[in-house]
Amino acid sequence: MYLAIFADALYAYPTLGAEFEKDLARLQGLVERRGIRVYLEDLPAVGKHLDRCLSNGEYKLSGLPLTKRYSNRVVIPKFLRGLYLLVFDETGSLKEDCDHQAVYFLRQILFAAKKATWPCSPEKIENEVLEFYEVDISLPEVDDFWKDEGSTSDEAIQETYNGSCTSQVYSTRLPDSARERSVMSTLLARFDRVSNLVTSALGSYDPGQWRFRHGPGAVSEVTGPSNKYSWKDWPDRLESVFPVADYGFHSFCVWADRYDTIQGDGGSARDQPYSRMVAVPKSYSKPRLIAAEPSAHQWCQQNVWHYFGRRCKVTWINEFIRFRDQTLNQDLCIRGSLDGSLATVDLSAASDRVTCHFVGQLFRSNPNLLRALRASRTHRVQQNLNRKVPEFVELRKFSTMGNACTFPVESLGFLVIAIASVLTTRKLQATTKNVLALAREVAVFGDDVVIPVDSRELFVRALEMFHFKVNDRKSFWTGRFRESCGVDSFAGTVVTPAYWKSPYDGKPESLATSVECSNNFYKKFMLHTARYVASTLPWNIPMVEQRSGVLGLQSRSGLLNRRLRRRWNRWLQREELCVASLIATQHKVQVSDDSALLQYFTERPDPFAKWTSGVAQRPRLRTRSRWVSMSDISLKDAEQGEVV
């Protein structure tokens, strides 16, 4: 694949043929010594260093593999020297007329295998769990409100969360300097005012107005498919906000019949609700830790998530946060790289650093919402991935990845901090008019934040005061490089590379991944690389028009599928091709109780669609041949020479 990538680079820069041959020889020699980690770890590290150099406007030595300088006079590395010299001069300074396409090819070569799905070693998983634990114990202890014995009355909430500017937790973290202390105190006051505006826009929370459902993830009670609509336990915490009779059954009669079977005794740690830690692949260097929530908690968390999603979409918050759309951040990222007015900020382990006290201060004006977040939160997680860490971890953080409320809560929290930082920097009052004036300057998607450069420093200081940590390696505020929500931009030009995930191994899942990989390279005009990835696939994968919904290799030139079988369907009066397709089948195991009726009311199937209840098993993806209309593929017909 790397031979193909260099072939594409040679097509763009024919005069660098000799340089590319040397680069391939150096790369091959390093791979022979260090193995596949060169592609998965070393090259991406060099790429991150390149991004930082682009942001700083100067190339500096890093000591990383494949970055040895060309000579004592030339600071540019030997590896990829030809491309580097189109971007930097020999002393390392960024050229005023640097070649944007060379920046793209540098990043493409360095980041091609950055997102490869390669299993992590047990040591790396253990290290990630240990870091998870260390981050958690570094956070302040949980307030009484979030504990079982804590009062949840409106008076108790107002007494505990009466504003960040009067919080003892944050007053101890204010800087010593009188001037800086005054600035941060002003920011806390702005934070309180903006949080009031946000909670006012969201409106009061009533669980009966929003949809209950289950998420797609696993639950903590069992491993594998299970009947999520049959409750094993409904804790008193959930009952206080989400009465099971009202929200857990389709009728009161069924609730009355099953009342005794869903009452947990809560005697020991194992009897009390807890989430279960799971490590899933993320990158070669480390996994991603998520938590499978108890089924009852997952059910209620989705109700709160529905509230957040709908209310944010129909209010002014939609100008800053769009939970299912990253284009707002991406557009501002490109603009920031062009004029330098906007900074992109990325946080380190953001969801693991959201404290309960922060959530309480954020939503203190909405007691019903706070009680719902408290009730649906699991405050312990079970892990068996690292013996040096306790099996049951009492969480100080608000929640883990896996809780449906984590993403909207952290997004809204970062939005309030960002707006408060800009208003404080510009000495503006926290009014709705001033907040709305910041649209197209501030955007948040999870832990990806775009903020004006003039407010970045104060924003970072505010994040640290709220116990968050900025990832400086992925945050950019100087120069002409920006990165946010999957878009990498340099001087207004998108330089996001195409990523290779895994080789085709004959499995249906691998087929879908490889077809997508080939198409991604094709969209980047990396034709040699796209052709190489396509050459590893079965012969009956069709070439399709780019807007086609058929699984196939995309084409702009209308190439013909001469190798594929054709027929004229006289019943449907159309010409068809026999192509490889992916068919997903999912069986359901019927349940013996009446939870199927709750499942029907929850899933709301189309009355004209065939629907069955039961426990859905893991989907099975198969590859099979089927006849597809030529109009769906949208390629030129071989004989007629026109679009069918």
Predicted confidence (pLDDT) at residue 641 exceeds the cutoff of 60: no
Q: ∠ at Cα 460 (459, 466), nearest 5°?
A: 90
**Strands of the 342-346 sheet, one edge to the other:** 342-346, 448-452, 443-445
* CA 173 – CA 140 distance, rounded (Å): 12
Place of tokens 């501030």: 442
Nearest C-alpha neighbor of 529 from the set 169, 223, 109:
109
What confidence tens digit (pLDDT) does each residue in 257-268 have? 887 777 654 444
Distance set, CA 384 to CA 64, 138, 391 (Å): 35, 21, 6
User: How confident is the model over 609-637, as pLDDT tens digits?
Assistant: 888 888 888 888 999 999 999 888 874 54
The pLDDT, as a whole number, for residue 285 is 84
Which run of H or E residues covers position 627?
strand 620-629
pLDDT at residue 264 in the model: 52
Rounded-to-integer distance, Cα 436 and Cα 424, Å: 15
Number of CB atoms found within 10 A of residue 91's CB: 11
Task: Indicate the range of 212-226, 265-279, 306-320, 463-477 predicted with least confidence.
Answer: 265-279
Note whether 460 and 345 are within 8 A (CB). yes
Tell me which residue has tokens 């070569």: 109
Query: Could you give the CA distance from residue 416 to residue 90 in angstroms, rounded to a whole number?
Result: 45
* Contact residues for 438 (Cβ-Cβ < 8 A; gap 6+): 320, 419, 422
Distance CA 157, CA 356 (A): 13
* Mean pLDDT for the chain overall: 91
Predicted pLDDT at 263: 62
Q: What is the amino acid identity at position 255?
A: W
Report the candidate in 88, 52, 42 with the shortest Cα–Cα distance to residue 69. 88
DSSP category for residue 16: G
Q: pLDDT band at residue 556, thresholds of 50, 70 and 90?
A: confident
Domain parsing of the chain, residue ranges = 2-114, 122-489, 538-633
Q: Report the first-to-last Cα separation within the chain, whole angstroms.
A: 35
pLDDT in tens, 206-225: 999 999 999 888 888 888 88
E strands, 229-322, in order: 275-280, 288-292
What residues pair up with 518 in beta bridges, in sequence order? none
Q: Is 446 left (phi over 0), alpha (psi -120 to 50) or beta?
A: left
Per-residue pLDDT tens over the stretch 152-202: 899 989 999 999 999 999 999 999 999 999 999 999 999 999 999 999 999
> Residues 503-511: what's their mean pLDDT?
93
Tell if the pTM clears 0.85, that is, is over it. Answer: yes
Percent of the residues in the chain that have a pLDDT greater than 70, as a whole number = 97
Position 229 pLDDT exceeds 50 = yes
Q: How confident is the model at residue 303 (pLDDT cuts 50, 70, 90)?
A: very high
Q: For residue range 411-467, list pLDDT tens digits in order.
A: 999 999 999 999 999 999 999 999 999 999 999 999 999 999 999 999 999 999 999
Whether 643 has a pLDDT exceeding 70, the answer reads no
Contact (Cβ atoms closer than 8 angstroms) between residue 140 and residue 169: yes
- The answer to whether the beta carbons of residues 352 and 136 sit under 8 Å apart is yes
Say which residues have a Cβ less than 8 Å from residue 454's Cβ, sequence separation at least 6. 425, 426
**Rounded distance, CA 554 to CA 454, Å?**
44
Buried b (16+ CB within 10 A) or exposed e, 24-33: eebbeebeee
152-181 burial, b at 16+ Cβ within 10 Å, e below that, comes to beeeebeebbebbbebebbeeeeeeeeeee
Q: In sequence order, what are the beta bridge partners of 578?
A: 627
pLDDT at 525 over 60: yes
Residue 485 burial by CB count (10 A; 0-12/13-18/19+): exposed, middle or buried? buried
pLDDT of 638 above 50: no
For the beta sheet containing 566-569, the strands, ordered from the edge strand earlier in sequence to the opposite edge, are 566-569, 574-585, 620-629
Question: CA–CA distance from 530 to each of 23, 58, 276, 303 (Å)?
Answer: 21, 33, 40, 43
Tens digit of each residue's pLDDT (9 = 90 or more) over 32-76 = 999 999 999 999 999 999 999 999 999 999 999 999 999 988 999
Residues pairing with 555 in the sheet: 545
CB-CB contact of 539 with 155 (8 Å): no
Nearest to 199 by CA among 410, 312, 415, 366: 366
Helices (runs of H) and strands (runs of E) counted in the chain: 24, 17
pLDDT score recorded for residue 592: 82
pLDDT higher than 60, residue 270: no
